[in-house]
Amino acid sequence: SFSAALERSAALEARIESAPGELRMLTGDRPTGALHVGHYFGSIRNRLRLQEAGVEILQLIADYQVITDREVAGDIRGNVRNLLLDNLAAGLDPERCTIFTHSAVPALNQLLLPFLSLVSVAELQRNPTVKDEAASAGITSINGLMLTYPVHQAADILFCKATVVPVGKDQLPHIEQTRVVARRFNDKYGVTFPEPGALLSEATHVLGTDGTKMSKSKGNVIELRMSADETAKKLKGAKTDSDRHITYDPEHRPEVANLLTIAAMCEGGDPAVIAEEIGDGGGGGLKKRVTEAVNTYFAPLRERRAALAEDLAFVDGVLRRGNERANEIADATLAEVREAMGMSYP
């Protein structure tokens, strides 16, 4: 239930304070584009906080998941590089975290086979998040990988026995599915996996310039890598409303409130106070303020990203080492699983 998940999340926050070295965190992104401001405040900021606290971090680039909801995979290799650059520029420390891709870790993917035997088709078809995502991607016929992606996610989380998974509310059904898979495996074959907990984050629904959820596959994003000019241009075209007096009213003025929230997150201020300061400045005043806030806040990240892009040998090395380490972890877990299942042969 939601209240139980909330309690677990609070308990995890306490352990991050008291015993970070005992925790392992897994998060992931799909290589479908470059990361945007929504990712930064919804997810990356949390990753950095846990890294600073001393939690071990595994960062998945979920390349196989690209082909769940689209016909054309696009430039996966280029987008893998985008994700590496974005994460490293944001401050993920390659000495302390493991950044890896699905497709380079065969033993992780093999966990899907026993895991799929532990869930029913009806259970998979009930998952509300899968239905929502299919609907928002405009998919009428859900393919088998899309239907089973929560189980693939269970493999992502359990192959490394992650204890913390930072997510928004909409991802809770998946964490619940992972806990169920772990529990059923342990009951059937002997205790092998810990049940992970969701670490709930707040800013999980940053809106894009069209007023719908900011999303790489839509044209509504402020990418982290954009230049100051590109950012200004993009925000100039952002949807607002006709009331020149700016107020912070998320319920009645969601687009205006979203821009105020982005400015506030960048400035470390309060959206209602920023609204008062803009006063009768209208959409123009609001956009000018947000543009300045975004460009100032992300300037150092953008500079680091440009420098990293000049050293692709280093960036590729980070992924190579990450994949090596992920393979070591996955091989060890798969060996344990096969042993538990009586499938370990000479």
305 near ligand ATP, judged by CB under 6 A:
no
Strands 164-167, 197-200: pairing is parallel
| Nearest distance from C-beta of residue 194 to ligand ATP, angstroms | 21
Between CA 26 and CA 32 the distance in angstroms is 19
- Tokens 């803009």 belong to 278
Q: Which of residues 18-37 bind ligand ATP (CB under 6 A)?
A: 29-30, 32
213 near ligand ATP, judged by CB under 6 A:
yes
Nearer to ligand ATP, 29 or 63 (CB): 29
- Tokens 């290799």 belong to 77
Contact segment (CB under 6 A) with ligand ATP among 53-61, 71-79, 203-211, 336-344 equals: 203-211
110 near ligand ATP, judged by CB under 6 A:
no
262 contacts 293 by C-beta, under 8 angstroms: yes
Nearer to ligand ATP, 66 or 329 (CB): 66
Between CA 200 and CA 170 the distance in angstroms is 10
Site size for ligand ATP (CB under 6 A): 18
164 contacts 50 by C-beta, under 8 angstroms: yes
Contacting residue, 43, 163, 178, 231, with ligand ATP by CB under 6 A: 43
Closest residue by beta carbon to ligand ATP: 42
Of 89, 51, 29, 319, nearest to 224 by C-alpha is 89
Nearer to ligand ATP, 42 or 271 (CB): 42
39 near ligand ATP, judged by CB under 6 A:
yes
Contact segment (CB under 6 A) with ligand ATP among 182-190, 206-214, 223-231, 245-253 equals: 206-214
116 contacts 148 by C-beta, under 8 angstroms: yes
Angle at 155 between CA 338 and CA 74, to 5 degrees: 130
| Nearest distance from C-beta of residue 315 to ligand ATP, angstroms | 19
136 near ligand ATP, judged by CB under 6 A:
no
Contacting residue, 204, 212, 247, 327, with ligand ATP by CB under 6 A: 204
Residue 118 corresponds to which tokens in the numbers above? Answer: 């532990």
288 near ligand ATP, judged by CB under 6 A:
no
DSSP per residue, 89-103: HHT--TTTEEEEEGG
**DSSP 8-state assignment for residue 248:** -
38 near ligand ATP, judged by CB under 6 A:
yes
Contact segment (CB under 6 A) with ligand ATP among 53-61, 214-222, 286-294, 296-304 equals: 214-222
CA–CA distance from 270 to each of 171, 222, 251 (Å)? 27, 21, 17
Contact segment (CB under 6 A) with ligand ATP among 39-47, 249-257, 299-307, 327-335 equals: 39-47
Contact segment (CB under 6 A) with ligand ATP among 91-99, 140-148, 211-219, 310-318 equals: 211-219
Using only C-alpha atoms, the chain has a radius of gyration, in whole angstroms, of 21
Contacting residue, 155, 206, 262, 275, with ligand ATP by CB under 6 A: 206
Q: At what angle do helices 2-18 and 45-53 cross, to 10 degrees?
A: 40
58 contacts 92 by C-beta, under 8 angstroms: no
Residue 156 corresponds to which tokens in the numbers above? Answer: 């992502």
Site residues (vs ligand ATP, CB under 6 A)? 29-30, 32, 38-39, 42-43, 168, 171, 203-206, 213-217
